Structure formats: C-alpha cells, structure tokens
Structure 1
Amino acid sequence: MRILLSPSETKSIGGAGEPLELATLSLPSLNETRRTVADALVTMCTDDPGGARAVLGLSEKLAGEVQLDAQLWTSPTAPALTRYTGVLYDALDEGSMTGATRARAESRLWIGSALFGLVAADDPIPHYRLSAGTRLPGLGTLRAAWRPVLTAATARWEEDLVVDLRSGGYHHLGPVPGAVTVDVVTEYPDGSRKVVSHFSKHHKGLLARTLATSRAEMADLPSLLRVARRAGHTVEHTSQNGLTMVTTP
C-alpha cells in the first residue's frame, strides 16, 4: 500500500543529516529531473534574490526563504516526514509514532514535491521553498518537467493499492492511474453537503494516519474501507476509485 500526501509550504529548518545527496532518495529514475529543478532554483535564488522572491510568491517577511533555497546543496537534511509541517502534518502527528507504528508509516507514506517529484517518508531532504505552480527561469512549468518522469516512475505501482491524497497541483505533476482519490465534504444537519477546502488537509491527515499506522494489510478498497470505518471515519465509496470522507461542522 502506498499513500501519497501533498507537501506543505511550511517546513522545519535545520536538521541533523548530511547535505542533500540525490543518490540517497527513493525513485532514482527521478534524479536527473531533481537535479535540473534544484539547480534552476539555486541559480535563480543566488543570482537574483529579489526576482526570486517575486517568482516564489514570497512576502518581504519571508525573504529569508530565498537564501535558504540558495543554500539547498549545502544545508542539513532531515527525514521528509519530519521536514514538512502544517495542518495535514499536525493531524498526521508523526511525533507520536514509535517503533512498529512508525516503521509501518514510513513504508507506506510518500510525499509529493515540486522540487523532488515524490519522496518516501524517510528520505533525507533539506528545507526548501518551491510550489507546484511556480515557473522557474529557463525551465517552464514544473508540470511539464515532472509529468513524464513521474508517470514512468510510478507505472510499476500498478499492482499496489495507491491512495492519492495530494491536492490538485501536486496530483497533476504526475497522476497515478488507478489510484484511489478522496474528497472531503461537510454534512450539515439539514442533510446538505459542502466541499471542505482548507480543513480538507486536516481530515486527510487523520485518514492518512489511520491507514499508514494500521496493522492490517490493505490490498483493495474493501479492506481500506474496513480499516477507516473501524477507526471512526465516515467514508463512502462514491465511484470506481473515488471515496468521499464525510465530516460534521
């Protein structure tokens, strides 16, 4: 089973790992594109910090992120699961995982990335700032850069149960055919429903934790639904590979 998560704009700074070495990352077939994107980001942030801030969509308060991007190849690394922060990762609560629970989560969780394409939960990565919609000078769209290589890299997952919880921008970097997708809605007392936007991250984080840490082996939708429902999630099977997670106000 593989669970694909969106990254977060906010990330922890620092780390105890050695500087970035692409050979240590999972899915080595992505490394050529990883290097191309990383070099373009570092060059932009080194040669034109002011322009880089505009390209990255950063406020003056976040100008320090440009310097951190410029130091991408020399800054310390940390496991991806601890590098990303924010609403989804607060709900995932990796800090409370220990022993076998964490090992199961690390074997199942993957995180989408505008810089790295996809990384495994324990892949060592540095702090960086780059969004899926960014257009780097001389590179064009990240979707154009990533889609062919991500499609090829994940083609071998066709026999696995893949749960794609990535948001639209990261999903479009490299869709996985046949993956299970999850929409989150709020159901009100009158029976009406509304698609959840920001807090979708929270609920997807809770679902990801349930699935990632379960001792059950899930190889198909029925087994996934059993695990989710036993944990208290209200999840409906709404299309061939689509689920709807129903929450209350």
Structure 2
Amino acid sequence: MLIVLPPSETKADGGDGAPLDLDSLSFPELNPRRRAIADALLALDDTTMRGALGISPKMDAEIAANRELWHAPTMPAVRRYTGVLYDALDADTLDATTLSRLAVGSALFGIVRATDPIPRYRLSAGSKIPDPGPSKAPTMKARWGGDITAALKGVTPAEGPVVDLRSGAYLTLGPLPGAITVRVESLREDGTRKVVSHFNKHYKGILARALAQAGHDLGPGTGADEIADVAGTTGLTVEITGRTSLTLVV
C-alpha cells in the first residue's frame, strides 16, 4: 500500500540532515524535472519570485529559504510538513515499516516518500514560474507533464493499492487512474451536506495513520471496501461512493 498525502504550505525550520541531494530521494526518474523546476525557481529575482509564489514582502523569509535550497539542512518529508493533517498523523509515533507506506505530493519534488530528506522551501501547485522571454508563465501542471502519474504507475504491485489523499491542484499535477480517492463531507443539521475544507485535513490525517498501520493486511487486490473497513475502525462514518472512491461523513 502507498498512501499519498498532500503537502502543507507551513513547514518546519531547520533539520539535522545533509543538504539536498536529489539522488537520495525516492522516484529518481523525477530528478531531471525536479532539477529543472528548482533551477527555474532560483533563476528568478526576488520581486519576480514573490509574485510567482503569491506572497507579500512580509513573507520574504520564504524567498530566503528557496535561495538556500541546495545548502540548507534537511529532515524527513513527513516531519518537514506541518499543520492539521500532520498533527493528526503524528508521524513521530509511527515505526519505520508504517512510515514506508506514506508519501507526499509536492510541487517542487513531485512525490517523495515520508522519510526522504528535504529542505524547507516554498512552492505551491498553483504557482507559475515564468521563463525568460515574453511567453506566458507555465503552470506547475504543465511543467510536470505526465511525470508524476508515470512515477505512481511504477509503484510495485507488491505494495498493494495507492490511496490518493491529495486534493485540489496537487491532485491535478499527477492523477493516478485507479487510485482510491477520499472525499470529506460534513452533515448539516437539516440533513444536507457540504464539503469540508480546512478540517478535511484532520480527518485525512486520522485515516492515513490508520491505513498505514494496517498496511500489512492491505496488499494487492485491496479495494475500496477494505479501505472503508479500516476507516470505520477510527470511528469515522464511511460511504463507498464508487469502485475506487470513498466519502468520509463527519
């Protein structure tokens, strides 16, 4: 089983790992694209980078972090990303085998395993890094092309299913046909539902933790019904809404 998490805008500072080495990352077939995107990002002056990242001058520490991309210390990706989902995941209490079932989608790195060492950086799926010249700045989706999808398709069948918890723009960077996807909806007092935005990350963190811990029982051939059974053990209400899709009702 491979569980693909969304990244977070917020990231932990520091780290005690060696500077970024693309050859140390999983999915090495993505390295040419990773380097090309990093080079394009770092070629921008501060003003252009600020616009490409959609940040204000008060957030220029994010630009400084990018400038140190190749020299800053690293830490495992699952510790670098912070926020609601990662609080619920509580990765520090998971063993190495459990962590091996987790990956994170990224605008800069495409997809990395939970334990891959990465530095702090700022780049979002919605960013547009302009190239020299008058042409329109390409989207991150255009820059990645089909590379992320191809990398995910290459996950060994022995790992079992891919559960894709990415959402929004990160999912469009490299969708995987056939992956099991999860939607989070809240139940209103009048019986209608609405899609949960911010707190959907909390519930996805709970689900990711449960699935990763149960991964030894979820090998090849696992379908949405088995994933729903594991989700149900967390106390979440789960509906199977398609052959490869689930809805958590909260």
TM-score, normalised with respect to structure 1: 0.92
The AA in structure 1 aligned to 2:54 is: G
Question: Could you tell me how far 1:151 is from its partner in structure 2?
Answer: 2.0
SS where residue 140 of structure 1 aligns?
Answer: coil
Any idea what the Cα deviations from partners look like across 1:43-97, whole Å, max 9, x if unmatched? 21xxx112211211112221111011011011111000000001111111223x1
Check conservation: 2:30, 2:110, Cα contact below 8 A: yes
Instruction: Report matched runs for 1:1-249 at 5 Å.
Output: 1-44=1-44, 48-95=45-92, 97=93, 101-138=94-131, 140-157=138-155, 159=157, 160-214=160-214, 216-219=216-219, 220=222, 221-247=224-250
Deviations 1:186-205 (A, max 9, x none): 11343221111111111111
Q: Distance in 1 between matches of 2:73 and 2:33?
A: 21
Amino acid at match of 1:131: S
Is the 2:10–2:83 contact (alpha carbons within 8 Å) kept by the matching residues of 1? Answer: yes
Q: Matches of 2:215 and 2:174 in 1, distance apart?
A: 29
- Cα deviations by residue, 1:183-228 (Å, 9 ceiling, x for unpaired): 1011134322111111111111111111112365113123222221
Whole-angstrom distance in 2 between the partners of 1:29 and 1:156: 10
1:39 Cα deviation (Å)?
Answer: 1.1
Secondary structure at the residue paired with 2:95? helix
Question: Matched residue of 2:154: which SS?
Answer: helix
Query: Structure 1 residues 172 and 211, CA, compared in 2 at 3 Å: closer, same or farther?
Result: same
Aligned counterparts of 1:104 and 1:188: Cα–Cα separation in 2: 39
Q: How many residues align?
A: 240
Amino-acid identity (%): 51
**Letter of the 1:241 counterpart:** T
Quick check: 1:42–1:71 contact (8 Å CA) kept in 2?
no
- Conserved in 2, the CA contact under 8 Å of 1:2 and 1:161? yes
Q: Which amino acid aligns with 1:231?
A: T
SS at match of 1:228: helix
Shift of 1:123: 0.2
AA of the residue aligned to 2:129 = L
State the Cα deviation string for residues 15-56 of structure 1 (Å, max 9, x = none).
000000000000000000000011111221xxx112211211
* Separation (CA, whole Å) in 2 of partners of 1:58 and 1:123: 27
Query: Could you tell me which amino acid in structure 2 is paired with residue 178 of structure 1?
Result: G
How many Å apart are 1:179 and its aligned residue? 0.3
CA RMSD of aligned residues (A): 1.5
Amino acid at match of 2:38: A
Provide the secondary structure at the position in 1 that maps to 2:181: strand
Distance 2:176 2:69 in 1: 28
- What SS does the corresponding residue of 1:172 show, helix, strand or coil? helix
SS at match of 1:112: strand
Given that 2:225 and 2:240 are in contact with CA atoms closer than 8 Å, whether structure 1 keeps it comes out as no
Q: State how far apart, in whole Å, the 2-side matches of 1:217 and 1:104 are.
A: 13
Higher mean C-alpha deviation, range 11-20 or range 221-230:
221-230
Whole-Å Cα distance in 2 between the matches of residues 136 and 88 of structure 1?
27
CA distance in 1, matches of 2:152, 2:215: 25
More displaced, 238-247 or 102-111?
A: 102-111
Does the CA contact (< 8 Å) of 2:206 and 2:234 recur in 1?
no
Name structure 2 gaps, 5 residues minimum: 132-136
